[in-house]
Amino acid sequence: MLDVRKDFPILSRRVNGKKLVYLDNAASTQSPRSVIDAVSDYFGNHHANVHRGVHTLSAEATELLENARREVAGFINATPEEVIFVRNTTEALNLVARSYGDAFIGKNDSIVLTQLEHHSNIVPWQQLANRTGAKLHYARINGEGMLEENHFAELLAGVPRITAFTGASNALGSLTPVRKMARLVRAAGAVSVLDAAQLAPHGGLDVKRLGVDFAAFSGHKLYGPTGIGVLYGRKELLEKMPAFLGGGDMIREVSWDSFTVNDLPYKFEAGTPNISGAIGLAAAVRYLSKIGLAHIARHEAELTRQTLDLFGQDERVVLYGPPASKRASIVSFNYGSVHAHDVASVLDSQGVAIRSGHHCAMPLMGLLGVPATARASFALYNTPNDVEALASSLKKVGKIFG
């Protein structure tokens, strides 16, 4: 078991008179002291705007920002010029749809998604299809909530121009065979876009090994600050794409009637970046690397297995998604006929924080035939005691609602 709880100040809190049991990590993870200190140090000692400034604080802030880029690039096995700082996964996916999509997708071109996707990996492609006349296709999932790989391959036979898919479902935890999918997409002559929001914090994200063309993830799900995310793109693709936003560092030269764009990665970073967020994200990457992603993955997998085992012993718990070996550290469930929001409210009274709702996956909830689920999701600082507290608190739900 990982002994890291002391590194996370918020875990010493009490909620509703109970010790906090934080199980809403798929929405946002908590930050260790090292991340908090890195952000505080920036604001307390180095805060200034970056690039072009010649004074000391600006030079220091610029160096901190670019060091952060290099660290994040190393974490995902990319080059610094392939790392674009954005606000979050959603912005990164929209950037690809707007820039690459608008430039290279046309009428009747095929866009392939899966039925596991978050709204952020559906709506930008719907908007692209509406703008261009392209056709959307969704690869099916089976009764376990796993991708039907044969159907995905069939859709690729239709010669798509772009495919976008999650590495791990935020609603069910279902893992997808990213490396295999990316290889099939490349063979079909298409471009792959990976939503790695749930994959990066748990299984890691080696973009070169996976072979994806684009990948997106968020700092706030990776033990870092909110408002910072990353778009990875293969250099040759980023260079072909038109700039998305105009102004600030994305320009090289401007005249009254024209402009030229800056080099990568600044071509896609218009305006002042989230400097403190990037610094905090780099601190989170250092923290995770020190512990070891493989170690973290094993720890979270055991907590997930323990949860599924305990829930399986209660006939009132309805579980959604695949077995523990096929999912990330996410457990979606309902408790009898009790609405997921009521389940979450009762658990909160016991100090247990979970998520409830459609998890920004309304089409997937429709496939499941439910309006919402309760969702417990685990991180490196959770323990078997947290799982026991979750299971024990569910008994309170039964007592209240019968």
Banded pLDDT at 204 (limits 50, 70, 90): confident
- Which regions of 208-274 does DSSP assign to beta strands (E)? 214-218, 229-233, 251-254, 259-261
- Tell which residue, 180, 191, 188, 181, has the closest CA to residue 236: 191
pLDDT in tens, 108-139: 999 999 999 999 999 999 999 999 999 999 99
pLDDT in tens, 265-302: 999 999 999 999 999 999 999 999 999 999 999 999 99
Q: What's the mean per-residue pLDDT of the chain?
A: 96
Model confidence at 25: pLDDT above 80: yes
More confident residue, 203 or 19: 19
Given this model, what pLDDT does residue 52 score? Answer: 82
- Tell which residue, 100, 165, 92, has the closest CA to residue 132: 100
Model confidence at 355: pLDDT above 90: yes
Strand partners, 85: 230
pLDDT in tens, 28-57: 999 999 999 999 999 999 999 999 889 999
- Tell which residue, 50, 47, 39, has the closest CA to residue 266: 50
Q: Which domains does the chain have, with CATH numbers?
A: 5-23+292-401 (3.90.1150.10), 35-290 (3.40.640.10)
Whether 111 contacts 160, CB under 8 Å: yes
Whether 188 contacts 159, CB under 8 Å: yes
Model confidence, pTM: 0.97
Model confidence at 255: pLDDT above 70: yes
Whether residue 53 lies in the annotated active site? no
Question: Residues of the chain with pLDDT > 70: what percent?
Answer: 100
Question: Residues of the chain with pLDDT > 90: what percent?
Answer: 95
Contacts of 244 (CB under 8 A, 6+ apart): 95, 98, 99, 268, 270
Query: What is the C-alpha separation between 144 and 156, in angstroms, rounded?
Result: 23
Model confidence at 74: pLDDT above 90: yes
Q: HEC string of 291-314?
A: HCHHHHHHHHHHHHHHHHHHHHCC
Q: Which of 190, 360, 361, 389 is catalytic?
A: 360
Given this model, what pLDDT does residue 207 score? Answer: 98
Given this model, what pLDDT does residue 1 score? Answer: 66
Query: What is the C-alpha separation between 243 and 233, in angstroms, rounded?
Result: 14
Model confidence at 3: pLDDT above 90: no
131's enclosing H/E stretch is helix 123-132
